[in-house]
């Protein structure tokens, strides 16, 4: 199957700082990528849809100024959590749509805000 | 958002037993995907279904796209300890973009 990577795998930061998470499709081009957030023992919650070359589409209740998304190329989307606070601590997962409309996920990034 | 009802929520079974889980919705889907997620990792795609009635296998896993297009089933035969994890269904609505909606997950525990 197609491979999607995320970097970093985990990050610990101080409250008030910003954190950038990268999502890359390694062996295919993805015009559409998704960013999810997952709390322990819960399903994935879609945060936003990232489209290459255009603004991201955010789900209701997700602050676009808080979670900045940039999809500058067909293989890279970034999520920046600005002015992070402890309640932003979570598992963030990206996914990319493959040619056959299958969705492949990255391994996730564990964010802990102190 | 769109609701996908996945059941059961959790299962505890003996090694060697078969497992069945399903996802249902009130809406019509044109694609169903089944994923497995291990703790601290991203979901891994198991099976993709594209047509109503389609039955697809991947080793000991078999999934079916319901005839009504509102449900899907996943079966695991002769379970083994490494089958432990959370299984998610995901569906894409008819005439929408690439967005998938996820089920609530089925937590599977296999007792050796």
Q: Do A101 and B42 touch (CB under 8 A)?
A: no
Which is it for strands B106-111 and B10-14: parallel, antiparallel or unpaired? parallel
Q: Name the region of B70 (left: φ>0; alpha: ψ -120 to 50; beta: rest).
A: alpha
Measured between alpha carbons, how far is B32 from B68 in angstroms, rounded to an integer? 13
A90 Cβ partners below 8 Å, 6+ apart? A37, A38, A39, A111
Residue B41 has a pLDDT of 93
Q: Enter the tokens of residue B8.
A: 């059961």
Contact A94, A79 (CB under 8 A): yes
Q: pLDDT per residue over A69-83, tens digit each?
A: 998 888 999 999 999
Exposed/middle/buried for residue A52 (C-beta within 10 Å: 0-12, 13-18, 19+): middle
Q: Do A32 and B42 touch (CB under 8 A)?
A: no
Local confidence pLDDT in tens for the 112 residues of chain B: 567 899 999 999 999 999 999 999 988 999 999 999 998 999 999 999 999 999 999 999 999 999 999 999 999 999 999 999 999 999 988 766 677 889 999 999 999 9
A5 touching chain B per CB within 8 A:
no
Q: Residue A106: which of B42, B88, B90 has the nearest Cβ?
A: B42
Q: How confident is residue A1, by pLDDT bands cut at 50, 70 and 90? A: low
Q: How confident is residue A54, by pLDDT bands cut at 50, 70 and 90? A: confident
pLDDT of A31 higher than 90:
no
């Amino acid at each position: 199957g197609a491979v999607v990577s995320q970097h970093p795998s985990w990050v610990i930061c101080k409250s008030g700082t910003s954190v950038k998470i990268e999502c890359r499709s390694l062996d295919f081009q993805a015009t559409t990528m998704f960013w999810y957030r997952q709390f322990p023992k819960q399903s994935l919650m879609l945060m936003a849809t990232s489209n290459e070359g255009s603004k991201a589409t955010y789900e209701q209740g997700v602050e676009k100024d808080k979670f900045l998304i940039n999809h500058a190329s067909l293989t890279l989307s970034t999520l920046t959590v600005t002015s992070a606070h402890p309640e932003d601590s979570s598992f963030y997962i990206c996914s990319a749509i493959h040619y056959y409309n299958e969705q492949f996920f990255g391994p996730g990034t564990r964010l802990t805000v102190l | 958002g769109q609701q996908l009802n996945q059941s059961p929520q959790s299962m505890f079974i003996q090694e060697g037993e078969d497992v069945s889980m399903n996802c249902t919705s009130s809406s019509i889907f044109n694609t169903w995907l089944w994923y497995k997620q291990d703790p601290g990792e991203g979901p891994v795609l198991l099976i993709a279904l594209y047509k109503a009635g389609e039955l697809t296998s991947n080793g000991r896993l078999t999934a079916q796209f319901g005839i009504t297009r509102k449900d899907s089933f996943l079966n695991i035969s002769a379970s083994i300890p490494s089958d432990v994890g959370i299984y998610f269904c995901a569906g894409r609505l008819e005439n929408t973009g690439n967005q998938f909606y996820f089920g609530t997950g089925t937590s599977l525990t296999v007792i050796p």
